[in-house]
């Protein structure tokens, strides 16, 4: 396994170095060269370790390069299809090993159940053609997600996905800010949206990246950690400003709640207070009068025409849902009839993910979708609490503590991203938005992939305590490798901690 990982890493490093050289002061077609290079590099790696195929698939799903560089990439190349084939070929090559190492999770059960309900809804649809076209897109997302849950079986893979999310969305935010500050105040995200989404969908994508910018900044334990923290903080600021420039009130509110969730639960209160103060100053500076007025206008929803149209479409969706509560009217068929039930115009989208699913595919489908969100939160909370417990009580090496701390921060970031999606979904209908499905995958596999790390921590703790019983001695003070391991930032001589040397003497 180590040899395979070494070969894969060599491919990645060599490919990325070449791509960086090609990007420098770009030659014509640099975007196309990048796409071909990264696809070939990770495609080769996927035949060694299937994870890299799914990593590349979701990187393209988040970055959406065919929209980001539509002026530079050939329009007839289906990048997602190519990458999906590469990922599935990697699974086919290693299918025996994958089946031996994989486990069937609760999230997999919910995804399969949701798929079954969608199939019934499609078969019973009033307009089968519309339902089938949307059902095919659903099938692509869910099939890849189920295979990804079989392939992802190590903590470093989930960590790589989290960093990828933060990096890709950070690049999108950089492009949005660059156009605004250096190209005459362009607000393309407001006028045109991004990646096939309107301004509200694009804002949700950017807002969900903020927790992962936080994760990149606080999860590193090396000599570059301060620089990474500052760089990730800058990415987070870019993302927040891009969300503001979208003028999407739902995304602004959801982002605020997600960030508050993270700050309140962040260990090291001093750090949390510092982050809160910096964010308050930055937001107050970047948010102009128009953005403030737009956000405050949410309080005047009775006079807001946009808000009233949403209330009307929600009422129509609720009536539609209870008319056919078990299997709905068919995927995206509710839009056809929404005007007959009180919506302001024909073809009105429901603008509520939950009510859209209920009207289209029935109440059970809506409850299953909500169940996936709730299970994601519970899984990550369970893993986070286990990590905190072992961080506090186990006598293990600094390396294991660092890895436990990373996982704890990853769980918190994923929860923040899921909260942002869950809240903003009350104002949007984005069934084919792939980023939340990636969060479902990460939270679905995390309770399983964390077990080897927990077992290592437990075994080191057991060995250290046995050694202490045989050779009692004063335990040295805990070394502080990060301030968040104690509320005060100070340690006591009575803290349960054993140095690495003491552990290795056994």
pLDDT digit string, tens, across residues 339-390: 787 776 777 788 899 999 999 999 999 999 999 999 999 999 999 999 988 8
Q: For 164-243, list the strands marked E by DSSP.
A: none
pLDDT (0 to 100) of residue 499: 43
The residue among 83, 99, 115 that closes a domain is 99
Domain extent at residue 475:
461-504
pLDDT class for 442, splitting at 50, 70, 90? very high
Q: What span, in angstroms and rounded, lies between the C-alpha atoms of 108 and 102?
A: 12
69 located within any domain: yes
Q: Which two tokens stand for residue 479?
A: 């070394």
Residue 493: partners with Cβ closer than 8 Å, 6 or more residues away: 474, 475, 477
236 located within any domain: no
Question: Which residue carries 């046995």 as its tokens?
Answer: 466
pLDDT (0 to 100) of residue 477: 52
Check whether 138 has a pLDDT greater than 80. Answer: yes
> How many folded domains does the chain comprise?
2
Report which of 263, 222, 216 is spatially closest to residue 238, judged by C-alpha positions: 216
229 located within any domain: no
The residue among 74, 99, 124 that closes a domain is 99
Cα separation values, 172 from 42, 196, 449, Å: 21, 14, 30
The residue among 73, 99, 125 that closes a domain is 99
Q: Alpha helix locations (H) across 24-127?
A: 30-48, 51-63, 65-68, 79-93, 95-101, 106-123
Query: 275-299, pLDDT tens digit by residue?
Result: 888 888 887 777 777 776 676 666 6
3 located within any domain: yes
149 located within any domain: no
344 located within any domain: no
Which is more confident, 72 or 125?
A: 125
172 located within any domain: no
Q: Which two tokens stand for residue 203?
A: 């804002």
178 located within any domain: no
Question: Which residue carries 């901690």 as its tokens?
Answer: 497
Check whether 231 has a pLDDT greater than 50. Answer: yes
């Amino acid at each position: 396994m180590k040899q395979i990982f070494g070969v894969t890493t060599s491919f990645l490093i060599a490919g990325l170095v070449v791509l960086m050289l090609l990007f420098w002061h770009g030659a014509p077609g640099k975007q196309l060269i990048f796409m071909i290079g990264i696809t070939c590099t990770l495609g080769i790696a996927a035949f060694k370790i299937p994870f890299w195929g799914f990593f590349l698939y979701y990187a393209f799903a988040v970055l959406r390069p065919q929209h980001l560089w539509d002026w530079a990439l050939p329009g007839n190349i289906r990048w997602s299809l190519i990458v999906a084939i590469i990922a599935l070929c990697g699974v086919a090559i290693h299918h025996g090993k994958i089946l031996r190492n994989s486990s069937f999770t609760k999230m997999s059960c919910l995804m399969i159940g949701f798929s079954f309900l969608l199939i019934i809804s499609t078969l019973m649809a009033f307009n089968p053609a519309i339902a089938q076209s949307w059902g095919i897109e659903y099938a692509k997302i869910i099939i890849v997600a189920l295979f990804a849950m079989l392939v992802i079986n190590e903590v470093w893979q989930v960590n790589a996905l989290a960093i990828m999310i933060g990096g890709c969305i950070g690049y999108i935010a950089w492009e949005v800010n660059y156009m605004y500050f250096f190209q005459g105040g362009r607000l393309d995200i407001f006028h045109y949206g991004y990646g096939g989404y309107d301004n509200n969908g694009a804002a949700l994508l950017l807002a969900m990246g903020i927790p992962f910018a936080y994760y990149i900044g606080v999860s590193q334990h090396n000599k570059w950690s301060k620089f990474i923290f500052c760089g990730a903080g800058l990415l987070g600021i870019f993302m927040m400003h891009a969300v503001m420039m979208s003028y999407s009130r739902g995304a602004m509110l959801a982002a605020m709640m997600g960030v508050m969730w993270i700050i309140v639960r962040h260990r090291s209160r001093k750090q949390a207070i510092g982050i809160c103060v910096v964010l308050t100053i930055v937001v107050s500076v970047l948010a102009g009068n128009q953005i403030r007025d737009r956000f405050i206008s949410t309080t005047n929803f009775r006079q807001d025409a946009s808000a009233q149209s949403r209330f009307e479409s929600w009422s129509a969706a609720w009536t539609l849902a209870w008319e056919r509560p078990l299997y709905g009217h068919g995927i995206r068929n509710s839009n056809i009839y929404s005007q007959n039930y009180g919506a302001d115009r024909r073809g009105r989208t429901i603008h509520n993910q939950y009510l859209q699913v209920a009207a289209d595919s029935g109440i059970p489908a809506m409850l299953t979708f909500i169940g996936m969100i709730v299970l994601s939160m519970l899984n990550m909370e369970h893993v986070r609490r286990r990590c905190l417990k072992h961080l506090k009580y186990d006598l293990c090496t600094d390396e294991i503590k660092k890895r436990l701390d990373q996982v704890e921060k990853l769980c918190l970031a994923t929860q923040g991203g899921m909260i942002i999606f869950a809240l903003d979904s009350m104002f949007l209908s984005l069934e084919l938005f792939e980023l939340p499905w990636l969060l479902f995958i990460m939270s679905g596999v995390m309770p399983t992939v964390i077990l080897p790390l927990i077992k290592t921590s437990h075994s080191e703790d057991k060995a250290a305590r046995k050694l202490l019983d045989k050779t009692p001695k004063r335990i040295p003070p805990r070394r502080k490798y990060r301030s968040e391991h104690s509320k005060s930032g100070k340690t006591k001589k009575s803290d349960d901690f054993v140095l690495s040397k003491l552990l290795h003497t056994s």
